Amino acid sequence: MFPELSDLETYFGPLRLFRYLSVRCALACACAFITGMLVAPHIIVLMRRLKFGQSFRTAEQVGVLAQLHEGKKGTPVMGGLIIFAGVMVSTLLFAKFNTLVITAMFVYIVLTALGATDDFLKIKRRTSDGVSAKVKLLVQFITTAVAIAILYTSETYAQSMRELWIPFLKTPLIEYMPLWFAFPFLFFVIAGSSNAINVTDGVDGLAIGCTISVALVYAVFAYVTGNSIACEYLFIHMVPECGELAVICFALVGASMAFLWYNANPADIFMGDTGSLALGGLIGAIAFMTHQPITLVIVGGVFVMETMSVILQVSSFKLRKKRIFKMSPIHHHFEIIGWKENRLVVRFWIMSLIFALAGLATLKLR
């Protein structure tokens, strides 16, 4: 919307500012934050009125953790709608729509709907069972299929989206990914990222704080990947108008900060699967389109650590009948051994920032 106003600069000079990506990124961040702050109180009140509160597992199921989280019962869920409102409004206002933006928004909208359905079913049934794992994977599978179809049929992006880049190399590892490889790879990135953030979302402010650092790094990736001068200097392949994805990333940062305002301990609302599934999918899609899908393992190190703790715990128990951690994901392990929630969250945020900076450094180390 606003980018088109730059064509009217002859009538009002300051409108030319909307032509600059940096200005639109800053405005998208601010707009998303303001939007989130405005809608959050209304969503919290609505969820309380509808009694859409979080239900937790019993002491028989999770032991001492039930006692640690006793005060969280009944806290409203579906807070992902706050983030969704901020991202969508800012993107519509400040991004120039192209194939990349459309693909990212498609993934985000579908997975937000999936997450909201999952949260609703959990609330309705008063259990932790919402949409089945098979249905979730099916929806993610279809979403990935549509996303890859959009990218691979685009005259502008079909060739560049077939390249697979990894950190530290000046040339792509694979110059032409066939469809049979690209589709499962993108599915793994989107589904893996979605489930990783979902696993991390268990303590007030933890997942959303780590999401902010990841979104900031991918804003930089998107910006430089769309800039010919930066690409030449950093030995990366330019993707036309990829910088518009930076607008989405900054919108995500602003909306996430607004959500964190109400999700900080003690949380007024939880993001639920409405937020975690969609945020992971959006970040995964942007990682793929900016040629940085493998780097996500570094940048999202906390999410990887959380996911691996679950995999190791389950594998160890099945094979050895012994547990590695007192409970997984690993943030629950630290809760049980006595870490206070605020200290745990801040320490994980510090680790997330370190991982983010390490991932950002890979741009130069080629």
Show the tokens assigned to 189: 């990135």
pLDDT, tens digit (0-9, with 9 covering 90-100), for 13-48:
666 776 789 999 999 999 999 999 999 999 999 998
Domain count, the chain: 1
Secondary structure of residue 324 in the 3-state scheme: coil
In a domain, 354, yes or no: no
In a domain, 6, yes or no: no
Are 150 and 158 spatial neighbours (Cβ–Cβ below 8 Å)? no
Confidence band of 220 (pLDDT split at 50, 70, 90): very high
Percent of the chain with pLDDT over 70: 90
In a domain, 288, yes or no: yes
In a domain, 50, yes or no: yes
Q: Is the pLDDT of residue 54 over 90?
A: no
Amino acid found at 153: T
Helix residue ranges, H only, 206-329: 206-225, 228-234, 244-263, 272-289, 296-299, 301-320
Confidence band of 59 (pLDDT split at 50, 70, 90): very low
Give the domain range for residue 230.
22-294
Task: Report the candidate in 332, 111, 309, 357 with the shortest Cα–Cα distance to residue 203.
Answer: 332
Q: In the predicted model, what is the mean pLDDT of residues 175-192?
A: 93
In a domain, 364, yes or no: no
**Tokens 């500012």, residue located:** 17
Cα gap 80→30, rounded to integer Å = 18
* pTM, full prediction: 0.93
Are 251 and 91 spatial neighbours (Cβ–Cβ below 8 Å)? yes
pLDDT, tens digit (0-9, with 9 covering 90-100), for 195-207:
999 999 888 899 9
